[in-house]
């Protein structure tokens, strides 16, 4: 989600400035105060480990494998789902939960589960889950995310934890300076630290996927890919075997996967667990940004570039992390064309459409909750398209 897609927030969020279960049995836990408004927990870094040979790793509710190292070779159904936005809302960092930002409620999760969706992508800000670089996690945010996972997995859904930071982190005493990951101020090791502390308790839970970074775009592919390659190795060395969603740079656009340099810079990528998919995003307006309701003729074919590239590499798995369309004949043509191409590709593992979240205004072009939800159930124009595919 790019910055401009978020205009017209509801009254409860009018002051916001948007940028677009299981216990831990390995690692000492200490409660550590982080200031007047943030309670945090410090988790000792787990010792490196190898993939368990007998632990069952469930990639979703419908499939299991006997070893994390063989997860990618199993046969899985296509997962279709929704982004439930809110955790990334607001420019305040860390901010106040339920005032500046919000996490998905059980009612929202149940709504999508009842319609047949099998996966949700849950955006959050790095600065909120870990207010201090390399420091303790926020107890409140960690518990909120844990509750989301509990509610979703109870309905048989997979949860993608999406670090919605665009390849950067806010730094300084007032969190006012955005700094690229991979720099002296925000080294790649700090990103690994955050993910290991957050995800360690879910390390054998195949229903929890890790979306390593939303839409990096302030560095070129030659700079980004060494960072994310090392991140994957560090996460695996810490004993986390969840599916990883690995983004490229240039907003990780499907249409520009080759031209942006992502395809070339992917060469040499290795996941020791072989349990990953490359996350791409695609919108249908003139610049693929998702900031306009106008769908350009032929835009449904934009996914062809990454599909063809994937097949040329032996079928590297892909995941569509964001997409969206609104009403209108052309949007219907293009959105269905893109969805049909993904469904038939044999390389897409699934998709999560953009536009879930109860704080979007009724005028938001990609909204997926009914306009008067929860009082009515009439699907929005975007949801009508998705319902054609969700239970295929």
pLDDT 10s digits, 273-316: 999 999 999 999 999 999 999 999 999 999 999 999 999 999 99
**Six-digit token string for 297:** 């003729």
For residue 232, being part of any structural domain is answered with: yes
Mean pLDDT along residues 319-345? 97
For residue 392, being part of any structural domain is answered with: no
Contact call for residues 233 and 263 (beta carbons, < 8 A): no
322 catalytic? Reply is yes
Q: What is the pLDDT of residue 75?
A: 52
For residue 208, being part of any structural domain is answered with: yes
For residue 214, being part of any structural domain is answered with: yes
Mean pLDDT along residues 317-323? 98
The domain spanning residue 136 has which CATH number? Answer: 3.20.20.80
Is it the case that residue 48 has pLDDT exceeding 60?
Answer: no
Q: What is the pLDDT of residue 65?
A: 38
215 catalytic? Reply is yes
Which is the catalytic residue, given 279, 305, 322, 334? 322
Query: Quick one: what percent of the chain has pLDDT higher than 90?
Result: 77
Mean pLDDT along residues 228-255? 98
Is it the case that residue 68 has pLDDT exceeding 90?
Answer: no
Mean pLDDT along residues 84-105? 95
Which is the catalytic residue, given 39, 215, 305, 334? 215
Contact call for residues 43 and 197 (beta carbons, < 8 A): yes
Residue 116: give the domain boundaries.
3-387
Q: How many CA atoms lie within 13 A of 308 on its CB side?
A: 9
Q: What is the pLDDT of residue 391?
A: 85
Please provide the average confidence, as pLDDT, over all residues in the chain: 86
Band of residue 92 on the pLDDT scale cut at 50, 70, 90? confident
Mean pLDDT along residues 362-374? 95
Rounded-to-integer distance, Cα 331 and Cα 163, Å: 29
For residue 134, being part of any structural domain is answered with: yes
Is it the case that residue 7 has pLDDT exceeding 60?
Answer: no
Number of domains in the chain: 1
Is it the case that residue 3 has pLDDT exceeding 90?
Answer: no
Query: Based on the number of CB atoms within 10 Å of its own CB, is 86 exposed (0-12), middle (13-18) or buried (19 or more)?
Result: buried
Mean pLDDT along residues 20-36? 32
For residue 304, being part of any structural domain is answered with: yes
Q: What is the pLDDT of residue 22?
A: 34
Query: Using one digit for the tens of pLDDT, what is the confidence trace for 97-121?
Result: 999 999 999 999 999 999 999 999 9
For residue 87, being part of any structural domain is answered with: yes
For residue 48, being part of any structural domain is answered with: yes
């Amino acid at each position: 989600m790019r910055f401009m897609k978020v205009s017209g927030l509801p009254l409860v969020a009018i002051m916001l400035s948007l940028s677009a279960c299981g216990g831990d049995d390995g690692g000492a836990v200490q409660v550590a105060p982080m200031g007047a408004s943030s309670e945090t927990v410090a988790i000792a870094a787990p010792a490196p480990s190898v993939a368990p040979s007998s632990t069952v790793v469930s990639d979703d509710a419908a499939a299991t494998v006997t070893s994390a190292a063989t997860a990618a070779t199993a046969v899985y159904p296509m997962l279709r789902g929704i982004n439930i936005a809110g955790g990334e809302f607001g420019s305040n960092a860390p901010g106040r939960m339920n005032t500046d930002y919000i996490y998905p409620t059980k009612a929202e999760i149940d709504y999508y589960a009842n319609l047949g969706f099998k996966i949700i992508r849950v955006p959050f800000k790095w600065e909120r889950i870990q207010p201090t670089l390399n420091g303790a996690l926020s107890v409140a945010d960690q518990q909120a995310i844990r509750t989301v996972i509990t509610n979703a997995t109870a309905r048989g859904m997979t949860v993608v934890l999406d670090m919605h930071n665009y390849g950067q982190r806010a730094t300084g005493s007032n969190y006012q300076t955005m700094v690229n990951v991979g720099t002296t101020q925000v080294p790649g090791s700090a990103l690994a630290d955050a993910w290991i502390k957050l995800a360690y308790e879910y390390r054998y839970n195949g229903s929890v996927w890790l979306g390593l970074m939303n839409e990096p775009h302030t560095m070129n592919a030659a700079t980004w890919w060494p960072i994310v390659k090392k991140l994957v190795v560090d996460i695996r060395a810490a004993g986390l075997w969840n599916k990883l969603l690995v983004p490229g740079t240039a907003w990780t656009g499907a249409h520009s996967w080759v031209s942006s340099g992502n395809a070339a810079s992917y060469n040499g990528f290795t996941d020791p667990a072989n349990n990953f998919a490359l996350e791409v995003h695609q919108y249908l307006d003139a610049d693929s940004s998702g900031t306009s309701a106008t769908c350009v003729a032929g835009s449904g074919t934009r996914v062809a570039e990454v599909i063809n590239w994937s097949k040329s590499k032996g079928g590297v798995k892909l995941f569509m992390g964001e997409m969206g369309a609104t009403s209108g004949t052309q949007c219907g043509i293009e959105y269905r064309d893109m969805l049909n191409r993904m469904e038939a590709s044999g390389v897409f593992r699934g998709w999560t459409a953009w536009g879930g979240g109860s704080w979007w205004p009724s005028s938001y072009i990609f909204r997926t909750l009914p306009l008067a939800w929860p009082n009515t159930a009439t699907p929005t124009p975007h949801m009508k398209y998705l319902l054609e595919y969700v239970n295929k």
